[in-house]
Structure 1
Amino acid sequence: MAENANLVDVLVVGAGPVGLITAYQLARFGGVSVRIIEKHAKSVQDAYGRAITLFPRTSEMLDQLGLADELLQEAFACRETVAYNSRGEEVHGRGWSFMNEMRDTTFDFSLVLRQKYQEEIFRNALRRYGVEVESPVELVGIDFGDTAASLSSHPVIATVRDTESEAPRTIRCKYLVGADGGRSSVRTLLAIPFEGSTSEDRWVRIDGHVKTNLPKPRTYCAIESPTHGNVLWVGLDRGATRIGYAFTDDRANAYPEFDEQAAIKEAIAAVKPFTLEFERVDWWTIYTVGQRIAKHFFVRDRVFLAGDACHTHSSGAAQGMNTGIHDAVNLGWKLSLVLRGLAPPSLLNTYEMERRPHVEKLIQYDADISRLMTNRLPENWQGDPTADVNEVLAKIMDEAQSFNSGLGISYEALADNPLVSASTSFGSLKPGMRAVDIPLLRPGTFEHTRLIRETPNVGCFYVVFFAPESSRQLPGALYQGVDQSGTINEYIKSECSWSLVYYAMLNLVKVALLAT
């Protein structure tokens, strides 16, 4: 009996947002047992800081998982951006201005909520499915049995230790997910190379409640400081504010110890010519900027890496948590289908196949904007060496607009990816693209609703029929078309040129058009 208690389908290591969302999906979809462990006690991680921003596509994904409403009730919905030059003059088209163009989504804003509060919501949601985070529990070893065995076996042997009692024990699982951050124990224990570099750049982030004469303090704001780089100013939840600036050698050498008071003093200098006074500091940190990516996201056919465990970058583009949640959502439904016997294990190979290209794109993008935010041109810059770094930064961020919002992210057709086939393209809409969250009417009551709300992510497939308004009665015409042609596809091609048939796999980004 004790041995069975240590058997589980999936063991998730790390209870940050990525680990919590992964475990939550598996519990929500049903038919799969899951455990989640966290090395640090919650009180240790209870800082207000860390990640803060969810962009529209991430909010859509969380909405499909039934989590968006509660996040929105606690968040600051940031709908305005502004940039100021060193003289305090507002300049247009710079800084975070791409956020003003996030369209074609209900979530046409940045959802700003500090990670502490997001994790509380995710933990409570997971608890409703009977899964509690086990903490403080540290992963100290990974061994393997026969990984080629059937899914009825538990070939992954995880050795864990309660960090308070120091008592070790083993948990046997079918799959293990490492969502345990940039210093991942899973990645380290399996000796998975973490390729990339750590730069000499460091940034300071400080959260708190402030008084200021900044004209638009409740925005996503950039201040172009000649001494502190492209300064970040963000209105946070609960009336708080985040300020971030470059921690240069000049800043470091000016203090025998760079403590909280030094961080406050430099924040005041960073936002000049505006005034700043801290009423309270909730959290602050100095961190090193670097870009790294794991050589493998999926090893031994049984172990996955997700989020910071397989890719790290700066907070310059505010993409860290967004990219990690995209990892978790991509992995969650695939792992669930395989474990429930509804898809072959080969489906799991598409996780890295689909996610890696976007992570690699983010890594390069982040390297460029990290340098620009510290008043330096990108390392491989081929343009004018005297170019204004703030103008170059604005151009690069604007060009990456659909990538930043997540709304333009899609998965390309690859010969060895069974989910995305080039042969099923139809017009401008192609398999692998996001299904647009269009407004809909319920057929019986004509209530207004929208596609994503009507197709929640519950680990199943949907077939959705779209038809144009017509003077003909659609049901009769449809039946007539089917009778005459023998197939719905033939009717659609001959009678409804704008009708599309979506086979939306979990209604995320997997879209295959059947009307071809």
Structure 2
Amino acid sequence: MTTGSFVDVLIIGAGPAGLMCATALASAGIGVRVIDKRVTRLLTGQADGIQPRTTESYGLGDRLLREAVQLHMAAFYNPSEQGGIECTDMKPDITPNARFPYKLALNQGAIEAIFLDSLNSNGLGVDYSVIPTSITFDESKLSDTIAHVVKVTLQHLETSSSPGRTETVNAKFVLGADGAHSWVRKALGITMDGDQTEHIWGAVDLVPDTDFPDIRNRTAIHSVNGSIMIIPRENDMVRLYIQLSDRDVIDPASGRVDKSRMTPEKLIAVAQKSFLPYILKDAQDVDWWTVYVIGQRVASKFSAHERVFIAGDACHTHSPKAGQGMNASINDTHNLAWKLVHVLRGWADFSLLKSYEFERQKYAQDLIDFDKTHAGLFSAKPKTKSFEDGVSHEENFKAFQTFAEFASGVGIQYEESTWINAKHQSSAPNLTIGQRMPPQILIRTCDYRPYDIHEYLVADARFKILVFAGDVNDEMQLAKVYALAEELEKPTSFLRKYLKDAQSIESKFSIVTIVAKTKGPVKMLGIPVLFRPHWSKVLTDDTDVTQATGGHAYERFGIAQDEVTLVVVRPDGFVGTIALASHYDDLNKYFAGFMRVLV
């Protein structure tokens, strides 16, 4: 039996990328449906590294911090002159410019569960054992954002709750987050450009029995017997990424990787040689394992007609040892989700969706370039007295330092465009337009409670307008603040122009005022009402009552205290543009580039 339905967004694939997007859309009230070919959700294994940017971005930090292992130190082991390996260096494995400066490790199944619980709280779930079989467009209506122009035929597999059922879903937009072998990508005829390296690796999750001293630190082992990466994990487990040779897994007849030639016991046996002189005993219980060949590719396109998008492994693949796969996938749909919300609500012009490919494809290529260097160095033979052509520890460590900020996610920068305007970068020279807003402790003016600015930048599809108002106890400075408020209250201002009927400014824009430290208590009620929409949204650049945290934000960002400076933070946390009050009209022009006047 064939049935039909209508939905705003159909998401194909319930991995981290798909679930991130579904959670964001559902939270914004967008109609969404998620399907996946798997019989049930992932329970363990696969990706496990969580970078600082991911922890700080999506309102998931509290649960991640409870369930995950924190990684604060990196250890480096290299060949010893006495044979075997020895520790040659230990360095903090942290990102200083991150709210949570350390990495986390938790299996992908547990991370997906966090998203699923959030999705369930909105009354939604995932339809498992369902696959797409065809996709077509109504090309006559592609420019009509409210039209259901994408038709997808779905087949319910024998393991589904309605085996054999065929249905048609009519969607306004479709997201293909269905992995490296993406059906959506292939159906759209999108190619993957890049290379597959000759590096073969195995991965195994186990509870180790070993005398290796750094088993609970993120550790890179370069041994003459092969390289290993150690990632500490939850429940006393660790993950071992183990370099394999062709003879371990290549089928001589076909020349291809044959996973059946490898077992977890054989993986551990390979690792035991690289651990010498330390002992790694045979594992009694292996939680998960796999074998893979590193492929580094980027999709030639990330969308078709800005109606069907691909994300995550469907549009970029790379090695897992830098902890980028799941993080990059989540960041893809974090970038896309708010744009879909704005277009579906009629807030933004259809052209906003072009920014997804513009921003994320460039990032993906940078990621591949990074990964080629990282994976190549890590897989190369170490330099020894008998092998002078190998890779030295110094080379590996230099790469480790060079790519640390990029790998953490906090160093990602989008290029200038309609959506990233750096015209007035000099107004806040140390607050980089095109990068995410950095963390900063400020003091809530009304009750002196310290808050990180990130707590005011929740991913709720609204633009955040940070008003650095200076010393509002100074009459001349306060006059500048009132003059700006008067201009922004006009119907032609970006704060008013895109509202309809009785719609409040706070429904589209979240205004947060940050005042400079004063000699006495801040006269909060003297600030224009526009800049204090709620008692909690006026912050002071001061230290907390213990003098232990906070302060120096104006100095840190290079913002003048005798000016009024506006910082526009996009819904995904990236700084979109900055302007002084005297150039507020440039903010009108910025939003006019993609926002729509409601009629």
Query: What amino acid sits opposite 2:408 in the alignment?
Result: S
User: Where does residue 579 of structure 2 map in the other structure?
Assistant: 514
The 5 A counterparts of 1:212-361 are 212-229=210-227, 231-252=228-249, 257-277=261-281, 278-361=283-366
* 2:412 is aligned with 1:409: yes
Instruction: Kindly indicate whether the alpha-carbon contact (under 8 Å) linking 2:439 and 2:453 is maintained by their aligned counterparts in 1.
Output: yes
- What stretches of structure 2 of length at least 5 have no aligned partner? 252-258, 489-514, 517-557, 584-599
Q: Name the SS of the counterpart of 1:334 in structure 2.
A: helix
In the TM superposition, residue 26 of structure 1 has moved relative to its aligned partner by: 0.4
Shift in CA distance, 505/485, structure 1 to aligned 2, threshold 3 Å: closer
TM-score normalised by the chain length of structure 1: 0.89
Secondary structure of the corresponding residue to residue 225 of structure 2: coil
Asked if 1:49 is matched to 2:50, the reply is no
Aligned length: 490
1:5-404 equivalent positions in 2, closer than 5 A:
6-30=5-29, 32-42=30-40, 45-46=42-43, 48-62=44-58, 66-87=59-80, 88-92=85-89, 97=91, 99-100=93-94, 102-146=95-139, 147-164=141-158, 165-229=163-227, 231-252=228-249, 257-277=261-281, 278-375=283-380, 386=389, 388-404=391-407
Query: In the aligned structure 1, how far is the partner of 2:286 from the partner of 2:375?
Result: 25
Shift of 1:136: 0.9
For 1:403 and 1:494, how far apart are their aligned partners in 2?
Answer: 25
The C-alpha deviation readout for 1:311-355, integer Å capped at 9, x for no partner, is 001112111111111101100101111001110110000011111
Unaligned runs of 5+ in 1: 378-383
Distance 1:124 1:35 in 2: 15
Residue 505 (1) aligns with residue 563 (2): no
CA distance in 1, matches of 2:210, 2:409: 33
Q: Secondary structure at the match of 1:85?
A: strand
Match of 2:554 in 1: none
Q: 1:430 to 1:110 in 2, by over 3 A?
A: closer
Local SS of the residue matching 2:235: helix
SS of residue in 1 equivalent to 2:285: strand
Amino acid at match of 1:332: A
Amino acid at match of 2:210: T
Equivalent residues of 2:78, 2:222 under 8 A apart: yes
Change (3 A) 1:484 1:159: closer
Note the alpha carbon deviations across 1:346-394, whole angstroms, 9 max, x for none.
Answer: 00000111111111011122122222222259xxxxxx98353443222
Q: Is the 8 A contact 2:224 2:381 kept in 1?
A: no
Bigger drift between 208-217 and 386-395 goes to 386-395
Match of 2:504 in 1: none
Secondary structure at the residue paired with 2:379? coil
Indicate if the aligned counterparts of 2:477 and 2:563 stay in contact, CA closer than 8 A.
no
- Whichever residue aligns with residue 25 of structure 1, its letter is A
Contact 1:159 1:168 in 2 (8 A): yes
How far has the Cα of 1:256 moved from its partner?
A: 9.3
Provide the C-alpha distance between the structure 1 equivalents of 2:393 and 2:452, rounded to a whole number of angstroms: 39
Secondary structure at the aligned position of 1:12 is classed as strand
Query: Partners in 1 of 2:128 and 2:330 — Cα distance?
Result: 22
2:421 corresponds to which residue?
A: 421
TM-score normalized by the length of structure 2? 0.77
Q: Conserved in 1, the CA contact under 8 Å of 2:146 and 2:344?
A: no
CA distance in 1, matches of 2:104, 2:309: 28
> CA 1:210 to 1:335, structure 2 compared with 1: closer, same or farther past 3 Å?
same
| More divergent stretch after superposition (367-376 vs 218-227) | 367-376
* CA distance in structure 2 between the partners assigned to 1:512 and 1:324 by the alignment: 25
Amino acid at match of 2:51: F
Following the alignment from structure 1 to structure 2, what is the Cα–Cα distance between the partners of residues 256 and 286? Answer: 10
Shift of 1:480: 2.5
Given that 2:25 and 2:341 are in contact with CA atoms closer than 8 Å, whether structure 1 keeps it comes out as yes
What is the letter of the counterpart of residue 86 of structure 2? E
Q: Which position in structure 1 is the counterpart of 2:464?
A: 462
Is the Cα contact below 8 Å between 2:201 and 2:293 reproduced in 1?
A: yes
Q: Which amino acid aligns with 2:412?
A: I
Paired with 2:116 and 2:245, the residues of 1 have a C-alpha distance of 38
Paired residue type of 1:412: E
Deviation at residue 211 of structure 1 after TM alignment: 1.3
Counterpart contact for 1:435–1:507, Cα < 8 Å: no
3-state SS of paired residue (1:118) = helix
| Shift in alpha-carbon separation, 1:150–1:82, aligned structure 2, 3 A | same
Contact kept, 8 Å, 2:303 with 2:310, in 1: the verdict is yes
Residue 33 (structure 1) shift = 0.5
Q: Cα offset for 1:106?
A: 2.4
Q: CA deviation at 1:13?
A: 0.5
Aligned to 1:440: 442
Larger RCO: Structure 1 or Structure 2 (Cα < 8 Å, ≥ 6 residues apart)?
A: 1
Asked if structure 2 preserves the Cα contact closer than 8 Å seen for 1:462 and 1:507, the reply is: no
Retained in 1: the 8 A contact 2:477–2:562? no
SS of the equivalent of 1:202 reads strand
Structure 2 letter corresponding to 1:151? T
Deviation at 1:495, TM superposition (A): 7.1
Quickly say closer, same or farther: Cα 1:250–1:418, change in 2 above 3 A: same
The answer to whether the 8 Å contact 1:86/1:272 transfers is: no
Residue 269 of structure 1 and its aligned partner are, at CA, apart by 1.9
> For structure 1, which segment, 20-29 or 251-260, has the greater mean C-alpha deviation from structure 2 after superposition?
251-260
CA contact (8 A) 1:409 1:433 kept: yes
Quote the offset at 1:210 in angstroms.
1.1
Contact 1:28/1:129 (8 A) holds in 2: yes
Q: 1:86 to 1:494 in 2, by over 3 A?
A: closer
1:484 Cα deviation from its structure 2 partner = 7.6
Distance in 2, Cα, partners of 1:420 & 1:495:
22
Cα 1:485–1:309 shift into 2, 3 Å: closer
Contact 2:10 2:34 in 1 (8 A): yes
- Using the alignment, how far apart are the partners of 1:113 and 1:439 within structure 2? 28
